[in-house]
Amino acid sequence: MLSKILSASLIGIDAHTVEVEVDITSKGLPHFSTVGLPDAAVKESKDRVRAALKNTGFNFPLKQITINLAPADIKKEGSAFDLPIAIGIAAAEGVIEHQAIEGYMISGELSLDGKVKPIRGALSMAIKARNDNLRGIILPKENAKEAAVVKGINVYAFESLPSIIEFFRGSNGVKPTEVDISSVMKENSFYHDDFSDVKGQEHIKRALEVAAAGGHNILMIGPPGSGKTMLAKRIPTILPDMTFEEALQTTKIHSIAGILKHGQSLIARRPFRSPHHTLSDVAMVGGGQIPKPGEVSLANNGVLFLDELPEFKRNVLEVLRQPIEDGSVTISRAISSITYPASIMLVCAMNPCPCGYLGDPKHQCTCSPSQVHRYKQKVSGPLLDRIDIHVEVPAVPYKELSNDLCGEHSTSIRSRVQDAKAIQIERFNHDNSKSGSDKIYSNAKMRSKQLKKHCVLKPEAQNILETAMHKLGLSARAYTRILKVSRTIADLAQSEHINAEHISEAIQYRSLDRGLA
């Protein structure tokens, strides 16, 4: 007998429909084979399926069983094909009517006692099932809420193989899982950290506000204990609230990477990733024998924080250049290429020298000039070229640390950031309608055409910038960055024009160009 079950395979962050064909014949010796480019985990499913059927009271047929995963030219990975194979065998043996399973996408891993275990990528599979206009999707209970945020598809959740078989036989009236998206977005958007926790450093908070408002990458330079990490961790709290589309995309990436918490339906907080400096270039941008998203994709729509920037391997920092520029990562292999989203705000922190106390009035620096030079040279010019704001973070004096006064709360800062962001979206709407797929949503992504159009300077502002270029020896790249940052500062001030004070503040955010760090 022949049966066909719909399932899905993950490629990048999207799911692709796979038809699981099960053929059982009594001719010849008992045999179980799986074809259609299965990996080791898929090939091992025959043992899990055999044990699960036997241990739940169903007869496993001692016949020739052939499983074909179509299309056969796409590699199938993971253990999510256990459940569709088991259901396909039951249907081929007449335990389930063929009409009952038509139009359902089925995915899940089986334990030896017939329990259904969670899988990766349930959200992507639910989106694919909806787009294909299927009747519903059958998933493990732990993945139900994640998939149920997709409207327009019935999501049925189960804990065991027998309950699924009973559902298809009509003996079990399980209702689709439902999720209230608005309440989920609200519940999952709470941040535990707040900018009011940070004592002092008001000028650094202002720089971070500017960076958040314009989507600018930022580098903080200061001695140990000055609060660079503490400030960086609070940046997501002042970024604009995530939209539902951003939350869906971020959740898909975390689900496919296997780091989404069991039972969690949606990620509504801006991601904050802070990888250790010993990570490899593959861990940073993704890849591997079985391609998976890296840190830069896991931070999509959020913050990627690189602490102790010069300690990262040179090749790890160099592979960041393309994702920062394009907002995506393309991993190419011999048979295919995969693109992961990587729209991030890059936040970096470093000491001014190896010992960390260069320029600190209360500690003596023990580094030689050559050591300081080598330390700074670890960070390449092309990477620094993609960082708009450089700020010095001095040590916090005792008077400010012991002060009981709280700083401004993140909600107040975020309100100003969202207002500035709304101005940018409205400004670039006309440009985006003409640009096709290459759209701009923040000042940091402006190209030369937008700079000429939206960064026209008043005469006084032009004079200040010209003086700074000559006296401070600023480069051409610094000129462009100053224009972008000054446009954001003007947006925060609700100003249509870039005035002298906006340019003056933007110039202060180029510490490395001015040779002050």
CATH number, domain with residue 138: 3.30.230.10
The Cβ of residue 364 has, within 10 Å, a number of other Cβ atoms equal to 9
Compute the distance between CA of residue 262 and CA of residue 450 in angstroms, rounded to an integer. 44
Is 187 within the bounds of a domain? no
The conformation of residue 265, written as its DSSP 8-state character, comes to -
pLDDT of residue 208: 97
Is 402 within the bounds of a domain? no
Provide the terminal-to-terminal Cα distance of the chain, rounded to the nearest Å. Answer: 75
Output the six-digit token pair for 291: 């391609």
Which residue stretches of the chain have pLDDT < 70? 334-335, 398, 433-438, 513-517
Burial class (CB in 10 A: 0-12, 13-18, 19+), 344: buried
CB 106 within 8 A of CB 83: yes
CB 220 within 8 A of CB 204: yes
pLDDT digits (tens, 9 = 90+) for 383-417: 888 899 999 999 888 677 777 777 889 999 999 99
Is 467 within the bounds of a domain? no
Q: List the beta bridge partners of residue 160.
A: 115
CB 120 within 8 A of CB 258: yes
Number of domains in the chain: 1
Element (DSSP H or E) covering residue 106: strand 104-106
Is 131 within the bounds of a domain? yes
- Give the global pTM: 0.90
pLDDT of residue 438: 64
Which residue has 């991601």 as its token pair?
271
Is 162 within the bounds of a domain? yes
pLDDT of residue 219: 96
Which residue range(s) make up the domain with 134? 2-168
Is 188 within the bounds of a domain? no
Is 35 within the bounds of a domain? yes
Is 36 within the bounds of a domain? yes
Compute the distance between CA of residue 273 and CA of residue 305 in angstroms, rounded to an integer. 6
Output the six-digit token pair for 227: 């609060």
